[in-house]
């Protein structure tokens, strides 16, 4: 068996391990962050359980750390209290980015992890089956319920040779994005192997698995080997290590060979992680801002590399450079080594140990500016400045470009690249990770005035009717549907308020129209809902009365979130029918409840043209039950009675 099959088999609760079939797996660990965690814990509380049932659950405060008002600090108090009461570890604001901290302190080879963040697959760098999902799926897992998914195809990425100077792990995943596109990984898990494995450290592997999310993959995973053991020993966690590898002769659905020696510095151009070119193709483009960090490239070695490139030099006067260490561990080690002083002396601005600029939470670029970022996403407007062009690259490209004031291939600095060794021992200080209360019954949960109750949806009616509220094109992201940023993220615990911003960057009139028209339908193209796991991109449209979403194809997590909140996900049987449906058309679908039970297609009538077209649903029998109940929370409560 391959690694993916081994882990799923060891955690299988229901279903058959055949690609395309639904399987339910037991979840060992969960991870939440403060932008998605508030809603996840409100949903967990609604289930009426006294304690989480996972082996480990950790709540991180790393997204909403910009405190421009009471909303974010109030939510942090709520999250801290919920963690204390229900048996969850709480990583305080300032302790670091969830994926970096979890990799350092809690990752365990062979275990399953479900996280309410799409970059949860970072844990695959340490041999975990780590999957991003919506908050309510995580809440169910914390309550001991299985996580259901379509059994993925397993793609073996065979790594050969080793990277040349100035080529990086970031360039490896950018190369895969260049080859496969942001749709290439849908329904798949990427399992890495081959002789090139031994040349990549765990943090390098985590860069690759982190951005596997941009391929649309279910997750990505590396074996747990001697390199992994060395990392765990340096984190004083060797007891958590175990060997995990594919059997000789293991079979895969696909095989991709990647010669590491042929990888060159690459860059993702605006406005998609899949718009990849070589750095030399865009070299010379003036740069206004450089941001280094995020859960992708904020490890100790990453930032020590930046410090070594910048030491004794000054950044270009036209560039503003911001650096976000991935964890408190990384920042402390930078400070003790003197590297932090080198960064500051070069002109860098040291930002919080948090997601920050990656989700538009501060450090926005100037109007029409060029921002070079070591992050994982560069969707239009995600930076906080819609007119800016954001590029994704390695820390080496970012640092050298900050010095030159323009996009620069780092190989211009010579054939010898800075080489930073992994430390034999990391600095260990977990004092900002709070343990649950010894007497949970005494914990009183604080709830700020911004926190609203959970919106509810009634059972699925037999007839769905309404007008087309919006018609979108291909590759609509969850950032398009439900933007992030300093203005909107603080509203995550208040669905009525956050619903005012649905499709704000695409069509600012959408919320008003949805209320005036009494809800309706969304029509879209292919890969609808790519990007973040944010369930608010389904929850807020549900609150506004969206009945169904009809598209050419869905991204995995958003599809699951629509089901979880009772919005019927449908695809055109004939793609050409997409062109025949117009904005404002009235759609009627009759016999929905019985139709879901008896087949996978339904007849939709476009009243404006008087014609019918066929739509198809992807629901399993279990998902049909969820849909008819009006969503996963209703379904879970019903089955708990």
Which residues belong to the active site? 62-63, 117, 377, 532, 534
Q: What are phi and psi of 33, to 5 degrees?
A: -125, 170
Q: Which two tokens stand for residue 348?
A: 């860098």
Q: What are phi and psi of 636, to 5 degrees?
A: -65, -45
Helix, strand, coil percentages for the chain (3-state, nearest 5): 35, 20, 45
CB 176 within 8 A of CB 257: no
Q: Which two tokens stand for residue 51?
A: 């304690």
How much is the CA Rg of the chain, to the nearest whole Å?
24
Secondary structure (3-state) at 102: helix
CA distance 502 to 489: 12
Q: Which residues, other chains included, contact 512 with Cβ-Cβ below 8 Å and sequence gap of 6+?
A: none
**H or E element, residue 492:** none
Question: Angle, nearest 10°, between helix axes 621-629 and 632-640?
Answer: 100
- Which residue, 55, 95, 61, is CA-closest to 80? 61
Question: Mind giving me the DSSP string for 191-241?
Answer: EEESGGGGGS-HHHHHHHHHHGGGGTBSEEE--B-HHHHHHHHHTT-GGG-
CB 377 within 8 A of CB 214: yes
Cβ atoms within 10 A of the Cβ of 27, count? 28
Peptide bond into 271 cis (omega under 30): yes
Secondary structure (3-state) at 158: strand
Which residues on neighbouring strands pair with residue 489, listed in sequence order? none
Q: What's the length of the chain?
A: 641
CB 123 within 8 A of CB 209: yes
CA distance 287 to 18: 48
CA distance 254 to 134: 28
CA distance 377 to 375: 6
């Amino acid at each position: 068996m391959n690694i993916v099959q081994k882990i799923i088999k060891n955690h299988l609760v229901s279903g058959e391990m055949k690609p395309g079939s639904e399987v339910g797996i037991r979840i060992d660990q969960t991870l939440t962050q403060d932008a998605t965690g508030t809603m996840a814990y409100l949903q967990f509380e609604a289930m009426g359980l006294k304690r989480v049932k996972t082996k480990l659950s950790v709540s991180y405060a790393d997204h909403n750390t910009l405190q421009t008002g009471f909303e974010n600090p109030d939510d942090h108090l709520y999250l801290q209290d919920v963690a204390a009461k229900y048996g969850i570890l709480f990583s305080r604001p300032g302790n670091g980015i969830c994926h970096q901290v979890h990799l350092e302190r809690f990752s365990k080879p062979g275990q399953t992890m479900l996280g309410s963040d799409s970059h949860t697959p970072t844990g695959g760098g340490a041999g975990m089956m780590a999957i991003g999902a919506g908050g309510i799926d995580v809440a169910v897992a914390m309550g001991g319920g299985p996580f259901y998914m379509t059994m993925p195809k397993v793609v073996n990425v065979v790594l050969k040779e080793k990277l040349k100077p100035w080529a990086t792990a970031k360039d490896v995943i950018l190369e895969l994005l260049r080859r496969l596109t942001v749709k290439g990984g849908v329904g798949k898990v990427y399992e890495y192997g081959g002789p090139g494995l031994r040349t990549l450290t765990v943090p390098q592997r985590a860069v690759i698995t982190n951005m596997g999310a941009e391929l649309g993959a279910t997750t990505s995973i590396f074996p747990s080997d001697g390199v992994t053991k060395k990392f765990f020993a340096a984190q004083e966690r060797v007891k958590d290590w175990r060997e995990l590898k594919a059997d000789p002769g293991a079979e895969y659905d696909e095989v991709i060979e990647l010669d590491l020696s042929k990888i060159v510095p690459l860059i993702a151009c605006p406005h998609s992680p899949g718009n990849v070119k070589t750095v030399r193709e865009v070299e010379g483009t003036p740069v206004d801002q450089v941001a280094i960090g995020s859960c992708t490239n904020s490890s100790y070695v990453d930032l020590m590399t930046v410090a070594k490139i910048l030491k004794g030099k000054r950044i270009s006067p036209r560039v503003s450079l911001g650096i976000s260490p991935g964890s408190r561990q990384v920042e402390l080690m930078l400070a003790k080594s003197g590297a932090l002083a080198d960064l500051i002396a070069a002109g860098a601005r040291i930002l919080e140990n948090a997601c920050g600029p990656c989700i538009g939470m501060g450090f926005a670029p100037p109007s029409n500016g060029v921002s070079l970022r070591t992050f994982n996403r560069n969707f239009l407007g995600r930076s906080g400045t819609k007119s800016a062009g954001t590029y994704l690259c390695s820390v080496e490209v970012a640092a050298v470009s900050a010095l030159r004031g323009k996009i620069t291939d780092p190989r211009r600095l010579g054939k010898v690249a800075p080489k930073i060794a992994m430390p034999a021992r990391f600095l260990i200080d977990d004092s900002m990770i709070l343990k649950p209360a010894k007497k949970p019954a005494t914990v009183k949960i604080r709830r700020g005035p911004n926190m609203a109750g959970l919106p509810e949806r009634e059972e699925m009616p037999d007839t769905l009717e309404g007008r087309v509220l919006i018609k979108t094109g291909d590759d609509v992201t969850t950032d398009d549907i439900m933007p992030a940023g300093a203005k909107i993220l603080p509203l995550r615990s208040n669905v009525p308020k956050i619903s005012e911003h649905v499709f704000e960057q695409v069509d600012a009139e959408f919320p008003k129209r949805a209320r005036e028209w009494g809800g309706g339908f969304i029509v879209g193209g292919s890969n609808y809902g790519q990007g973040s796991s944010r369930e608010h991109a389904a929850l807020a449209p549900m609150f506004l009365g969206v009945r169904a979403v009809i598209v050419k194809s869905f991204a995995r997590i958003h599809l699951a979130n629509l089901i979880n909140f009772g919005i019927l996900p449908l695809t055109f049987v004939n793609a050409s029918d997409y062109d025949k449906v117009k904005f404002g058309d009235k759609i009627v679908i009759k016999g929905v409840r019985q139709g879901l039970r008896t087949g996978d297609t339904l007849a939709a009538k476009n009243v404006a043209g008087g014609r019918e077209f066929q739509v198809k649903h992807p629901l399993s029998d279990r998902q049909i039950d969820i849909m008819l109940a009006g969503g996963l929370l209703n379904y879970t409560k019903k089955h708990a009675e």
